[in-house]
């Protein structure tokens, strides 16, 4: 099974009945997401099938708007700027959009991001999820959430969770074609829940998540413990969300992120995204929550920046410690 087989399986029937409309293709939106229980490791690198399930919270108004129009040849425009066709980003997006060439392509793609610039947030998740939504809007495929998630996953694993708002579980699935590996939204909301972006560095990553995951799975002796850890953390985080209990959620999410980073540190050669400034910020968070302090925990992805997990009432005091904190309210429209 390759990615093209999956696209064909989902679209073959539909494409016959629809045509992509060049003129009035709407611009559509997908939110970025931050995992509270991480996805780290693939069981199939072509289809981006994960070893474990994972769980994220969508970033509300922070994400990507995308619009596609059928064109004579492929092009990418990001935030109004045409991207060089041989750049990494255009090459990756071009290869992805090529999967859809028999269903109305080639396409000209235009995206704009509402993710705070340089906040250390990966934008690939919202980018791929918004591109699928834009294709669907232009071509009238009428994808359901499962299909949207599966197609977005072929672009980047975490994009499978960027297809909806709120808390989202990406169920790992068992099938070799991955048709059971997709997002499932949780019904629970948490209006006071906040994410805080602490940027310590915004330069290029020493190693991308694709290569880092592969290296971890293949060489880290610590990876063997990861699937069982994730299974327990998923149960705890879901229970904490149901109870809106930050004191239960924070420690599990933080320990999950730290464990993910330690599996990477055990790879050969080690994958180490932590900078001295990352460790400094982690220690400040740990100090802040000493008895009588602020209930705040952190999570981290494939990079050196921190994302704080807290509730609305702690925002003012956190801003004193982290003056440049970007605060995201995942359950408000703002």
Question: Does residue 17 contact residue 192 with C-beta atoms inside 8 Å?
Answer: no
> 304-333: which residues touch ligand PMV (CB under 6 A)?
none
**In terms of Cα–Cα distance, which of 127, 108, 119 is closest to 25?**
108
**The dihedral sign for the CA sequence 74, 213, 133, 182:** positive
The reply on whether position 122 binds ligand PMV by CB under 6 A is: yes
> 28-67: which residues touch ligand PMV (CB under 6 A)?
35, 38-39, 54
Stretch that binds ligand PMV, among 132-140, 156-164, 181-189, 279-287 (CB under 6 A): 156-164
> 63-92: which residues touch ligand PMV (CB under 6 A)?
none
The reply on whether position 301 binds ligand PMV by CB under 6 A is: yes
Q: In this complex, which beta carbon is closest to ligand PMV, that of residue 35 or of residue 183?
A: 35
Stretch that binds ligand PMV, among 18-26, 150-158, 243-251, 283-291 (CB under 6 A): 150-158
Question: Does residue 155 contact residue 91 with C-beta atoms inside 8 Å?
Answer: no
Q: How far is the CB of 267 from ligand PMV (least distance, A)?
A: 14
Q: Could you please report the per-residue DSSP string of 104-128? A: T--EEEEEEE-SPTTSS---HHHHH
- Using the rule CB under 6 A, which residue among 209, 263, 305, 314 binds ligand PMV? 209
Q: Could you please report the per-residue DSSP string of 166-226? A: SEEEEE----TT-TT-EEEE-S---TTEEEEEE-S--S--SS-HHHHHHHHHHH-GGGGGH
Q: How many CB atoms lie within 10 A of CB 127?
A: 28
The reply on whether position 233 binds ligand PMV by CB under 6 A is: no
The reply on whether position 124 binds ligand PMV by CB under 6 A is: yes
- Chain contacts with ligand PMV (rule: CB under 6 A): 35, 38-39, 54, 122, 124, 156-158, 209-210, 301-302
């Amino acid at each position: 099974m390759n990615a093209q087989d999956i696209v064909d399986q989902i679209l073959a029937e539909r494409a016959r009945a629809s045509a992509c409309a060049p003129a009035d293709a709407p611009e559509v939106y997908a939110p970025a997401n931050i995992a509270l229980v991480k996805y780290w490791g693939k069981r199939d690198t072509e289809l981006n099938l994960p070893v474990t399930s994972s769980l994220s919270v969508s970033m509300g108004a922070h994400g990507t708007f995308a619009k596609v129009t059928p064109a004579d040849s492929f092009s990418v425009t990001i935030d109004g700027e045409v991207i060089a066709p041989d750049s990494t980003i255009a090459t990756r997006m071009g290869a992805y959009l090529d999967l859809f060439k028999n269903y109305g392509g080639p396409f000209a793609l235009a995206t704009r991001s509402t993710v705070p610039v340089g906040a250390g947030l990966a934008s690939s998740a919202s980018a791929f999820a918004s591109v699928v939504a834009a294709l669907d809007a232009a071509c009238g495929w009428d994808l359901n959430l499962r299909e949207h998630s599966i197609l977005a996953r072929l672009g980047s694993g975490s994009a499978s969770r960027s297809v909806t708002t709120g808390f989202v579980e990406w169920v790992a699935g068992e099938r070799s074609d991955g048709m059971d590996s997709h997002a499932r939204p949780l019904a629970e909301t948490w209006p006071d829940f906040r994410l805080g972006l602490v940027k310590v560095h915004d330069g290029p990553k020493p190693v991308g998540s694709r290569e880092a995951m592969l290296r971890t799975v293949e060489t880290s002796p610590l990876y063997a413990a990861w699937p069982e850890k994730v299974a327990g953390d998923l149960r705890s985080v879901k229970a904490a969300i149901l109870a809106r209990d930050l004191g239960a959620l924070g420690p599990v999410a933080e320990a999950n992120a730290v464990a993910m980073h330690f599996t990477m540190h055990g790879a050969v050669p080690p994958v180490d995204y932590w900078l001295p400034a990352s460790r400094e910020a982690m220690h400040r968070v740990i100090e802040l929550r000493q008895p009588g302090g602020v209930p705040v925990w952190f999570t981290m992805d494939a990079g050196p920046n921190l994302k704080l997990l807290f509730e609305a009432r702690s925002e003012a005091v956190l801003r004193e410690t982290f003056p440049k904190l970007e605060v995201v309210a995942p359950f408000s429209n703002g």
